[in-house]
Amino acid sequence: MPTLASKRDSAIANWPWREGNRFILLEAAGQYFERMIQAIDDARTRILLEMYLVESGALASRFVDAFERAAQRGVAVRLVLDGFGSLGFSKADRERLTAAGVELRIYNIVHLRKRLHNFLRDHRKLMVVDSAVAFVGGVGLTDQFGVAGPSGTPWRDLVVEIHGPVVADWQEAFLRTWRRSGGELSLPPPSLDSIPGGARGRVVLSEAWWRSELANAVARRLGTANKRAWIMSAYFVPSRRFRKALRRAARRGVDVRLVVPGSLTDHPIVRQAARRFYGKLLRNGVRIFEYQPRVLHGKMTICDDWVSVGSSNLDRWSFKWNLEGNQEIEDAAFVNAAAAVFARDCELSVELDPMRWPQRAWVDRLQERFAGWLDERLDRWRRPRL
């Protein structure tokens, strides 16, 4: 007899591939936030937003203003914010939204009595407008993303704008999170026509339940890649399974590249934990690029003619504790555009030299050991049942 976990797993593992979509890769704050606010201002029926990191400031105020305008003209606005990621979102901003008629839900409110359940977070970044357009990526609504980070420029991130039948699946993904956050909502499935000559795409999620279909999808692609396997990740602390897949791909002649954070990062200890794996990867032919101009926060994987963009960092923490969401795309034009973005970021990075890596300073090795020790202890924590 199937267990509850297996039933849940089967329910999330089979999001279908859908033909006839249009995908637009947005790679700058001036692109994706402007497109998102324009979509809010153009909304006629409903706006659905699911967001991890929200903090009161200049960028959040722009979105609060836009949501307020939409609600006042009769658009149904529903927001799900993560209970930890939205701790910096002020009471005044929340009250402005609810006073305007916006429905606001909080996913897993932080409380001491919840113990390890506090680590179960909604890390997705998703907006669906009028059941017609969706935005999926790695951004948060904080000034670091839209105004300036530690280097004086916005953090480097990516968002995909989505049109076509796959939008219906993103709407359903939002509705599941809405229900888990205490809301009851039923929307008619949108009837979205395929776009002639459009691209093939699929929603892929990590639900922090039983296993991560997102992790499995990337592992399968790494295992079958023939030409390239390129990964951009802000917090790349890969499991043994992923490290082995990367080494094997490089040894069979695949162009394997990692774009990872340089010294500008919001989580230095995570960077140090990742660096302890670099030596073996470099010795096996994996090329590693540390991004220099600003804080790297983008998440993208390219394997041959397939690309995945979204919220997942492809680390063990994401797959074990978080709700994550990525858009998979099989389309030559989109993949070429994504590859061009990736290649430009490689040019803005410092490539690690396999010969010089063993000669790095002893203090770096000490930091990597400590960060690795901490990472291993955290990874042993058992995820609580939901």
**Chain centroid offset of residue 24 CA:** 16
What are the DSSP calls for 204-238, one per residue?
Answer: EEE-SSS--HHHHHHHHHHHH-SSEEEEE-SS---
Which secondary structure element, helix H or strand E, spans residue 378, and what is its range?
helix 362-379
Answer for the pair 135, 36: CB distance below 8 angstroms, yes or no: yes
The separation between the first and the last C-alpha atoms of the chain, rounded to the nearest angstrom, is: 20
- Give the CA distances from residue 357 to residues 31, 167, 237, 346, 351, in Å, rounded to whole numbers and listed in that order: 37, 45, 18, 18, 11
Give the closest residue to 218 by CA, choosing from 206, 207, 210, 208.
206
67 near 38, Cβ under 8 Å? no
How far apart CA 236 and CA 84 sit, in angstroms, is 21
Residue 353 known to be catalytic: no
Q: Which of 125, 331, 345, 375 is catalytic?
A: 125
Ordered DSSP codes for 157-200: --EEEEESTTHHHHHHHHHHHHHHTT-----PPP-PPPPTT-EE
Catalytic residue among 41, 65, 117, 130: 130
* 130 is annotated as an active-site residue: yes
* Catalytic residue of the set 299, 315, 320, 375: 299
Pairing of strands 228-232, 76-82: unpaired
d(CA 314, CA 157): 15
Residue 143 structure tokens: 């000034």
Q: Is 297 a catalytic residue?
A: yes
Phi, psi of 29 (to 5 degrees): -55, -35
* Angle, alpha carbons 195-205-231 (nearest 5°): 85
Residue 370 backbone zone (phi > 0: left; psi -120 to 50: alpha; other: beta)? alpha
Catalytic residue among 297, 315, 331, 345: 297
Task: Out of 65, 255, 266, 304, pick the active-site residue.
Answer: 304
- What percentage of the chain's residues is helix, strand, coil (to nearest 5)? 40, 25, 35
Q: Which residues are catalytic?
A: 123, 125, 130, 297, 299, 304
